[in-house]
Structure 1
């Protein structure tokens, strides 16, 4: 399975970088992982809704550049389906069984994802109704993918 994370923004904090590196290393046993960082657009204070839409559209163009036609695209979005760890594990297993071996997970910027990216998505997932920084949700996503593979393989980790 080839898993690509397309994320808006760079990771600046060392502790996030370390956690991402750790889960990326752990995942090498189960899949090929590629992480792509798309430039985030600066949002001025008191930005209008129109300004915010322009920013989301620019970030969306950056994301769409990396999505290939043969990719199954999963967008992280507040309106997406909430899954348990077991359900995410089953979802990944189903993708593999169906032959969707190129899967992209999309993490948007602080304003969320553009309509064009959401329209391209085959599926949307919501990790929580709370808002998290993109750096933290990247760690959480990688950990949950790792947990999903451990569940799928019947290996100890998930409790």
Structure 2
């Protein structure tokens, strides 16, 4: 079985190294922001996220090893235009977030990314843009007791 090219493995190695660093760093936490204390132990959430990154990197390495058996394409395919539109959408998300409204940024981001990847059904876009972010806010607020930064819409919710 041929070894996957180093170029393909490099991002996975870097992501794994950052995740391992984050897990190690989480053992040094002495205090945690007050909004995380209610839902998690001081280092549980960063460890969960870093562990998830490690699992995904491992799965990607296994997929690369599986693909190494197949004949390689002559040239690598260029990034699809939807990728660049997604980057633009993420920049718009960050700009709206910087204006101070997390829920509106999530709504624009989720519906926008779906639209950038070709979703055209208005009902689906509305569900993704309105219902999904609201459910995420409710899940984190009710289950994990995590409060999000107040904005125009969250001020109504939090009271």
Superposed pair shares fold, TM > 0.5: no
**Could you state the TM-score of these two structures normalised by the residue count of structure 2?**
0.24
Greater fraction of residues in helix: 2
Report the TM-score when normalising by structure 1. 0.24
Higher relative contact order (Cα pairs below 8 Å, separated by 6+ residues)? 1
Counting strand residues as a fraction of each chain, which structure ranks higher? 1
